[in-house]
Structure 1
Amino acid sequence: MKLIKNLAMSIIAAGIFSACGGSKQAATTTKSNVVQESYQELDRCEKYALQKPGSRAVGEGYDYRVSYAKTYAEGQARAEMRRKIEAAILSASSEDGDGYEKHASSGNEGASVRDEGAKKNIATTQIAEGIVKNTAVVEMSKYVRNDGSYHVYVCIEYMDGISKMAENIAKQVEQQVSDDERMKMNFEFEKFRERIENELKKQK
C-alpha cells in the first residue's frame, strides 16, 4: 500500500513539473514585431539605406505612441533626402562654372545679387520637395526603450531609381533657367543630368 502511495505521489509531481515546463516554453515563443531596444552599430534600416545611397534616406523618431514615432521618423528621412538633393543640385550646377544660380545673380548691385540668390535657393528647395513627394517607405524597425517609449527607424526610397531621379531633377532645373541664360551657360542637359546622378551617388 505504501509503495502504491509513493508511486502515485511521483506521478502527480512529474505532472506538475511537466506543466510548469510547458507554460514556460509557450511564454518564450510568443512572437512580436516590436523588440526590446539593444544598442548596435547600425540598424537594419540604416544598412538598407546604404545599399542605394542617393535614392534612399533613413530617419528615426521617438514617442510613447508608435504611430507618432513613425511619423517623426518619416519626416526626418524626407528632410534628409531633401538636403541631399539640394546639395547635389548646387554641387552639380557649380561645376565648370555653369551654375544656374550664378547666372541668375549677376546684377550690378549687392541687394539684387542677394535677392536673386535667395530666389534660386527657394527654387532648389522646391525642386527637392517635389522629388521627395515621390518616395515611399520601404523598411521600418520598431524598438521599445527602457522607459516604455518607442524608437522607430524608417527608410524611404525614390522608387523609380537614381537615374530617373537625376533626370527629373535636371528637367526641373532646366525649367528654372531662361533660354538666354542656358545659352550663356552653354547648358547641356545630358551632362548636367550625369553630374546630378554622380553627386547623388556620393551621398551617404
Structure 2
Amino acid sequence: MREGPDIARIASLVGDPARANMLSALMGGTALTASELALEAGVSLPTASSHLSKLMEGGLLTLASQGRHRYYGLAGPQVAGMIEAITGVAEAVGPKRVRPGPRDAAMRVARVCYDHLAGEQAVAMLDRLVDRKVLLRDDKEIRLGHSAAAHFSALGIDVEAKARRPVCRACLDWSVRRSHLAGTLGAAILDKILAEKWARREKDSRAVVFSPGGRRQFERVFLG
C-alpha cells in the first residue's frame, strides 16, 4: 500500500452525485438542515441522512445543533477550496449538466465562495490589489504588501488581527480559471460589500448582485 493521503476515499465521497450536490449547496456559506440538503440533492430524507453520515465520517462536514434543529456546514475553507477547484476542472473538461441560464451568468460575475467573493469581479479585484502592490503574489501564494495594513485599515478592515487561518490565500476560480482572494481578508472584504449594501445575495443562490451605485463604489475602492 502506498503511503500518504488517501485521495481515493475523499474522491469517492465527493464523487457521488447526491453528495456533490449537497457540498455545492453548502458553498454559499450557510449551514443547512438535512431536509434542505435532501431537496438540494433530490433524494429522500433517509437517503440524505445516510449520505450526510458518510460526509461527516470523512471529515468534510461539521454539525451544529440549535434547539430541535441540526445544521450541516462545510468543515472549513480547505474543503471549500477543494470543491471550487473540482468545479473548475468540471467546467473546463466535463460535460455540462444543464444549459446555462441567467443565474449562471450572474454567478460568473460575482458569487459567494464559502465566505469570500468569487467570480469575475473578485478576480479583477485581486489583480488590481497586486498591481498596486497592496498584495504581493509569488508562485500562486499571496501575502500582504508593506502598505496593506494602512490600506485596509482605512476601509475598516484589520489585517493584523490574529486568526487561526491565513489572512490571504489564493482560491482557484472555477468560472475565470484564475485565482481570487480567500482567507480572512477575502471574508472581511465580502462582509464589507454586503454591510455597505453595495450588493446583495440573490435568494436561493450563491450569486452576489451589485446595484449600479454599489458597483461604482466597489470599483472605486477596489479597482480604482
Q: Report the TM-score, using the length of structure 1 for normalisation.
A: 0.23
Which of the pair has the greater relative contact order for Cα pairs under 8 Å at 6+ separation?
A: 1
Q: Report the TM-score, using the length of structure 2 for normalisation.
A: 0.22
Which structure's residues are more often helix, by fraction? Answer: 1
Structure with higher Rg: it is 1
